[in-house]
């Protein structure tokens, strides 16, 4: 994981209301909520080490979910819908292992503007 990601995550986790840096993404995603599956062919949203926002309507707040993200480095992750609104859902990632943190960082690096990665 890039050092900048850890530093920003540590600062955000120190009990403050800071948000983790977010990167815009566009890739296929499968959402599983209970027995329901939703396939998003080229979903646009944003991602951070703590969660993601997806432009999907009609999903209930506080619902546990499983995501399969098909990017250059595909991975699956569990989350909880923390807010649901007309424009989409905010998802918090849960039970993050070191390997999943690394996968999220790879996803961020895949979509982050190159000038951001150079700093």
Rounded Cα distance, 117 and 25, in Å = 15
**What pLDDT shows up at residue 60?**
92
Q: Quick one: pLDDT at residue 17?
A: 45
Is-contact 10 20, C-beta < 8 A? Answer: no
Helix, strand, or coil (residue 93): strand
Chain segment 68-102, per-residue pLDDT in tens:
999 888 899 999 999 999 889 999 999 889 999 98
Q: How far is it, in rounded angstroms, from Cα 53 to Cα 92?
A: 9
3-state secondary structure of 12: helix
What are the extents of the domains in the chain? 22-118
Q: Which CATH superfamily is domain 22-118 in?
A: predicted glycosyltransferase like domains (2.40.10.220)
Separation of alpha carbons 84 and 86, rounded Å: 7
Q: How would residue 114 be classed by pLDDT, with cut points 50, 70 and 90?
A: low
pLDDT digits (tens, 9 = 90+) for 24-72: 888 999 999 999 999 988 778 889 889 999 998 889 999 999 999 998 8
* Rounded mean pLDDT, 3-13: 43
Which pLDDT score, from 0 to 100, does residue 65 have?
95
């Amino acid at each position: 994981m890039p050092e900048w990601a850890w530093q920003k995550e540590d600062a955000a986790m120190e009990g403050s209301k800071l948000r983790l840096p977010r990167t815009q993404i566009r890739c296929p995603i499968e959402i599983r909520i209970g027995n329901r599956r939703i396939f998003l062919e080229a979903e646009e949203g944003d991602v951070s080490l703590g969660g993601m926002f997806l432009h999907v309507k009609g999903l209930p707040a506080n619902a546990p979910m499983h995501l399969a993200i098909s990017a250059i480095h595909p991975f699956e992750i569990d989350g909880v819908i923390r807010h649901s609104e007309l424009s989409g859902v905010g998802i918090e990632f849960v039970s993050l292992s070191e390997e999943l943190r690394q996968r999220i960082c790879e996803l961020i690096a895949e979509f982050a503007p190159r000038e951001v990665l150079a700093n």
